Copies of this chain bind each other. A is one copy, B any other.
């Protein structure tokens, strides 16, 4: 049984979904694990993770708009140190995921045909985001 870890750095340019399935797959492939478990962990509280449909890009727009609607920028928040998109970013993070766990089965990530791994950026300004990856298997 072996393990490995890395920190991916992703650059975002405003609110929305950023597909990084390829970056994850590129890191996993040379490890040639037949069976294992991949963990993806977002080291931030104003960006989060989603597994979502990777076919029709309007899904990603609808998701962004929906979360803007249910956690609007101008809500009755006490915390607004970093502007109107600060507290809604924390709420959207609470409503989605900070970590994902994906089995490796027969040498492949068990993602479904239409599933991609996305960073969901909740802040308006560009950010560099760190994603910790861990895999265990053999």
Contact = CB atoms under 8 A, between A and B. Distances in A.
Contact of A79 (B1, B58, B90): B58
A134 interface: yes
A124 interface: no
A100 to B, nearest CB: 6
Q: How many copies does the complex hold?
A: 3
A41 interface: yes
Given A45-B115, A98-B100, A90 B62 contact: yes
A130 B37 CA distance: 17
A99 B72 CA distance: 27
B95 A95 contact: yes
Contact of A134 (B1, B3, B105): B105
